Amino acid sequence: MSRVLSTEEAKTAIRQIQSIIAGGFTDQITQLDAQGRVLSDPNTWDGPLAATFRGSTWPETKTALDKAKQQLEELRTQLDKISQDIFTAGGGA
């Protein structure tokens, strides 16, 4: 038999993570993307370093940000399911 436990501390941690994800962290990633696109426009910012930013720095960063955003959404979904399963099974403290 598996142990099922969900303390108040766990419930609070789950809510905090969900709040951070839903409450602005993914929005901040979206805002970073918008500013990165602005800086990627050679009509806005140009020169050797801007070209490096446009050609490699930003594409690599954007890929990482997109992946982070996706993983955060997956984490939020998993926490929803896990917490509901635990609470339904009577694992509340």
Strand partners, 92: 6
pTM metric for this prediction? 0.75
Give the list of residues 6+ apart from residue 4 with CB closer than 8 angstroms, or none.
Answer: 86, 89, 90, 91
Q: What is the pLDDT of residues 34-86, one digit of tens each?
A: 999 999 999 999 999 999 999 999 999 999 999 999 999 999 899 888 878 77
Residue matched to tokens 């099922």: 4
Q: Is the dihedral of CA 72, 21, 11, 88 positive or negative?
A: negative
